[in-house]
Structure formats: structure tokens, C-alpha cells
Chain A
Amino acid sequence: MSPRKAKRFNPDRDVREWNGAYRPYDILKEAFVALVAVGVLIVLLAVVFSSPDEPAVTLKSWSTSDPVDFAQTAVTELDGTSPLATYGPPYNSTPDVTQHIGFFEPAQWIGVHQPINTAQDFVIGPLRSLSNQPLVQRALDTYDSSTPTQQSAWTTAYEKAVANATDVHGRLQVPHAQSGPVGVIIGSLTTMAQNGGLDGTLLSQGQFYNTNYTKPLLFIANGSYLNNLAGAQHLQGTQWGMMNETGNYPGQAWLWLYTMWYQVPPMKTSTNADLEVWAIMMALTVVLILLPFIPVLRSIPRWSRVYRLIWRQHYRSLA
């Protein structure tokens, strides 16, 4: 058996044993001083800058502040044309909408796991829960028993009319249209939302306790109201919004790289931008973890010579 060949010294992988001087070092004292110093800094910044706490938007606050936007959104939930109704997995099975990179289409493979039928879950179901509302129930019966073609004709007519709707002191005023029962349905839903009933109904999932806000959040996110509020706070995607938070706070500054990819081509205009950005970030994370094994990349620190600054005193002592 031949002796194992000695590995050639690689300065980007290997080190020589330190045979130089040592100096006293109290690790626990250092940790204690650091703990106190950081504690003082945290208290100081908390006292001076506090923290943001903008109240959450509710279906009630949205429908009261902007009933026209609420009604315009609600009718798209009813006729299945809203962004959520056509979202695809994990909410529904709309074909050919999942993001993909070539054959790689993970959302499609995993499928629907949080099924949402926007018409039933956001409009018809909540209104069916209203008691002592015979007019609303008759409108729902009429809508449910009509053909899809008829339903589409009514919702299309209502969409055109609600585009010219007005907000009169918080009350929705929609011009007359051949919209059948849809006017009553959306008008009633708006009233229900303004009374606060829709928030509870969408949150309820047949049990008293609930902490899953998926449905009300998705409904609210479909409207323009939330988006406009976020835009005023510089939180939209085109404003590097994911890493920001309301007010003048640092937010998640560490997400700058993730957010940056959305601002540059081709992701900026790509319909598969989310999956592309995630793929890039996952690849970069793996590269960072495996950096010590990757030739060229692991040599950058030595080539950059930044280490000369870090170990300035050491090199000076050698000179």
C-alpha cells in the first residue's frame, strides 16, 4: 500500500498552525459588556423611534371608506373574473396560469390545497347566512337558478354600471342597469360588510375559535383600496415594498437582494417573476453555503486584500 499523497497547501482552504503570541481575553466579560451596550442602544432607539402599528384594514373599513371599490371587487368575485378567482393553485384549478420555468411547475404539481370558490365563499355563502332577509334570499335564488349565460349577462351589465357608481356619504349609488338580481346581491353584500358582518362570516370556518385570515385577506387584497393605502406608504412591489414597512422604519432591509430582482429585467415584466426570483435566491443561498468548496469564488477574499485591513496590526508586526 503506498502512503497517502500529501495534500498540496491551498491558501484558500488551508491554514498554518498559529505559533505566535497570545493575549489575555475575558470572553464572559466581553459578552456581558456587549449585552449591556446593545441593551442600552435598543432602549434608546425604542424610546426615540418607537415602532409602527398602522391599524389593519377590515372589510368594514374598506366598504365604508370606499364602497364603490368594494362593489366593483365583489362583482368580480361573483362572476369569477377576479385575480383570485383565476389564480390557480393552491386556491383553485384554473388551467395554464401557474408560474413555471420550462417544465418546472411546482405549484401545478402540488395542486389545490386551500380551495376557494370566490362566488360561494365571498358572496353567496355569506349572504345565505343572513336571516330575515327575504329579498336577498330571493335574489340569490334567482341568480343560482339561472343559466351561466344569464348570470354572465347580469354581472357584465352590473360591472358596467358600477364603473360609474358613486359614493354618497358612504352609501353605494349604482346607475340603473339590466343586472337582474346582481344589484340586490352586491348592494346587500356591501351593506353587510359596512355593518361588520362580513368580517366575522369570512373568518368563521364552522368553529368558534379561528386564527386563519386567508379568506378575508384575499378578498381585501383583490380590491384597489389596500393597494392604494400601500402605495401611499411606499410599499408597493415597484417601490421595493416587500422589504419596507409603514412609516420611516428600516423594515426588512436584509431582503434587499430578494426585492431587487423584481426591479430588473426580465423579472420586472415576466409572468413567472416570483418563481424566477425564488429560483435565483435559492441558487445563491446554496452557492453561499458551499462557497468554501467553489474555486475562484473562495479566492475572492485573498484577491480582494480586504484582509490586510482586518489584520493590519498583525501584518505591521511582521514587517
Chain B
Amino acid sequence: MSLDITTERDASSSEESRQWTARVRNAAATAFPPDRLLPDRQPAYMASWIYVFGVLTVVSLAWVIITGCVLAVMGPSWWHVSGLGHFVNSLHLWSVEFFFFFMVIHLWGKFFMAAWRGNRKLTWATGVVSFVASIAAAFTGYLSQANFDSQWISTQAKDGINSTGAGAFWNVLNFGQMLMWHIVLLPIAVVIIAGLHVLMVRRRGIVPPFDIEPKDHGDTPSAAEPSE
């Protein structure tokens, strides 16, 4: 009887291991064990204010999304005619300014740490791509303001976009199209890419310092760093 149960379990386990769901779960559990996903300790070398700018960028993005959602509740014209709406728009504007301010410092900090070392190239690349996607998201926000600024910026920007041929399909003068990109497509892209970036940071950990005097240049790279 017990032998039958064991055999059944083995068969079941073998079948499970072929499941997409089981494979994804196992891969996720291997890549992100709880103490790596939500760590309660960090390497001692992480003793600099520069490390704060990563989390400041993430929370600024959270404020950008929160304030943008509040603006979305009442529609694109609300903030032009309501004092409260104007205040929420101001919150949205300054959260964007802080988001970029923190992100640029974070980027420079990571550059001077050469944070791509130790199989962290994809972490670096997703960071840069999320920066570029954020620029596009902010740009469409400026085009969606429905005021003088959006008129001027769109009529100036059209020449650059048109020169690349993209203006044929991505019309910066089309308020409806730009608003959709600003509140749907680009935020989704930024959140997904930034989310991947954060997950990669958790997966690979924070890059260690340069050796002061690399004595053994013939060594192999750290085996503790899984390849990408």
C-alpha cells in the first residue's frame, strides 16, 4: 500500500515538474527566495547616501502614479477649472521633477560604481531603458496638458519626430493619441521595465566595490554570480 502511494507521488511529482505552472513557480522560488526578495540585511559596503536614490526614484514613481490616477478620476479638463484639480496637477508635476532628479543621480551613481559588473549587465540595460521610457512618458504628459505649453512643445517637437518618419503614425499634435500614450501605454511600459529592473537588483544583489589592488588578475569571475 505504502509502495503504491510512493509510486503515485513520484508519478505526480514527475508530472508536476513538466507543468508550466510548476516550472515558473520553481524558477521564481529559486531566483527569489524570500530573504533575497525582502532582505533584512545588507553588505557592510553599502554605506553611502548614493544608495538612497534608487528607492527615492521608486517612491517618486509611486507618487507620479498616485497623483496621475487622481487627475484621471475627473478627466483631463478638471485641473484647468478647479483649484483642487490645479493643486493635484502641481503634485503631479513636482513628483515628476523629483522622479527625474533622483533617477539621474541614481544613474550617475551606478555609472561610477560600474554597477554592471558581476553579470549585472541586464540590470544596467533595463535601468537605461526605463529612463528612456520615462522621458517619453513625461514628454507625452507635457503634450497632454491642453494649455499653451502643450501647444508650443507639440508644434516644436513635431519637426524632430517627423524627420524620423515616426510622425506619420505618432502624431504629437493629436491630443487624444498623446493622452492615451501618457496615461496607458507608457506608464505600463515604465512600470514593467522598472519592475524588472528592481527584481534584477534583488536577484543579483548590489554590486560590490572595486578591489583596491586586484592582485590575481588570472582568477575566474565569482562563481557566486549566476550568468544572465
Interface of A toward B, CB cutoff 8 Å: 6-18, 20-28, 30-31, 34-35, 38-39, 41-43, 45-47, 49-57, 89-90, 98-99, 106-107, 109-114, 210-214, 217-218, 220-221, 226, 229-230, 235, 237, 241-242, 245-246, 249-250, 252-255, 272, 274-275, 277-278, 285, 288-293, 298, 300-302, 304, 306-307, 310-315, 317-318
In-complex Cβ contact of A54 among B148, B155, B163 (8 A)? B148
Measured CA separation A10–B218 after assembly (Å) = 9
| Chain B residues bordering chain A, tally (CB within 8 A) | 102
- 28 A-B residue pairs with CB within 8 Å: A6-B220, A9-B218, A12-B117, A22-B42, A23-B43, A25-B40, A35-B62, A41-B98, A45-B97, A46-B87, A50-B87, A54-B149, A107-B167, A107-B168, A211-B174, A212-B171, A213-B175, A245-B142, A246-B148, A252-B142, A254-B138, A274-B159, A274-B162, A290-B125, A293-B121, A301-B114, A302-B114, A312-B48
Q: Which of B90, B152, B179 has the most CB of A within 10 A?
A: B152
Residues of A within 8 A of B90 (CB): 45-47, 49-51
- Ranked 5 nearest A-B pairs via Cβ: A211-B176, A106-B165, A292-B116, A15-B118, A113-B168
Measured CA separation A20–B47 after assembly (Å) = 13
Interface of B toward A, CB cutoff 8 Å: 38-48, 50, 52, 55-56, 58-60, 62-63, 67, 79-80, 86-87, 89-95, 97-98, 100, 104, 109, 111-114, 116-118, 120-121, 124-125, 128-129, 132, 135, 138-139, 142, 145-157, 159-160, 162-165, 167-169, 171, 173-177, 179, 205, 207-212, 214, 216-225
When A and B form their complex, what is the total count of cross-chain residue pairs whose Cβ atoms lie within 8 Å? Answer: 295
Considering the complex, give the chain A residue whose CB is closest to the CB of B124.
Answer: A292
Measured CA separation A272–B86 after assembly (Å) = 39
Measured CA separation A165–B123 after assembly (Å) = 63
Q: How far is the CB of B77 from chain A (nearest CB, A)?
A: 12
In the complex, the answer to whether B225 meets A15 with C-beta atoms within 8 Å is yes
In-complex Cβ contact of B160 among A109, A278, A307 (8 A)? A278
Considering the complex, give the chain A residue whose CB is closest to the CB of B107.
Answer: A288
Measured CA separation A274–B156 after assembly (Å) = 11
Residues of B within 8 A of A230 (CB): 152
In-complex Cβ contact of B208 among A16, A54, A277, A318 (8 A)? A16
